[in-house]
Structure 1
């Protein structure tokens, strides 16, 4: 049994806690669970295949923000701004912050390559 097969075992216990499993064909290395009103979810839970590109990108993003406080502040300000604009539209909020996240991941990859 691989890691994501094991993650599928979370579906029923999480459902009992109010989480809905949302299959995402675009992300085969991730299981996504949400809680709250549709498109206004209050809780999002992502389970990734360990060492997948998605997993590694999340770590790159987190680590870059930890070591670059100015980017962390910029990200916090962006999130607050987008939240005020898209209070009732979680999907657009997420789409609008994606370019920033991707740019930070690219910066982190470049930094990692330069250290090698």
Structure 2
């Protein structure tokens, strides 16, 4: 299963299909974005084996300049992506794929090796290597999903303390 109604929260068990769904989308994005896409990465919870997640595929596209996104906007929209500006986070351009009642992908276009890019990669990589953290995060997400079923903003905000603690650990390991 992939997809979730916009604004809602439902956490489901990890699915190995998510990796395949990502790979198909990665091929499409490299085709659509060409050389503008320096790197494309599967990020977010669906990229971490064993982690319960909202069934939406998060994809990071690393670019040299966010200004380059404008020349691809129409092509992305013609392929099902809806422009979401920066969706409240400075330093990125965001697109969502899927109907309002069934969002399937979030596309985060960010400066390659910028802070947002690195944070997504550090977080993902740390969890991929730390099973205990995956179990803790899954438990937190399930509890928060039960509490905030129709309040995506509160669900997301309630995860911040955990996410920031993982980023701190991940950065300490890299430095």
The two structures, once aligned, show a CA RMSD in angstroms of: 2.4
| 1:62 equivalent in alignment to 2:124 | yes
Count of aligned pairs between the two proteins: 111
Q: Distance in 2 between matches of 1:10 and 1:83?
A: 35
Q: Determine the structure 2 residue equivalent to 1:75.
A: 137
Q: Distance in 1 between matches of 2:173 and 2:120?
A: 15
Give the stretch that moved more between structures: 59-68 or 77-86. Answer: 77-86
Give the stretch that moved more between structures: 44-53 or 81-90. Answer: 81-90
Unaligned runs of 5+ in 1: none
Q: Distance in 2 between matches of 1:112 and 1:92?
A: 30
Which structure: greater strand fraction?
2
Q: Does the 8 Å CA contact 1:41/1:90 hold for their aligned counterparts? A: no
Q: Shift of the alpha carbon at 1:98?
A: 1.8
Q: Determine the structure 2 residue equivalent to 1:96.
A: 158
TM-score by length of 1: 0.77
Q: Match for 1:11 among 53, 67, 73?
A: 73
Q: Distance in 2 between matches of 1:10 and 1:82?
A: 36
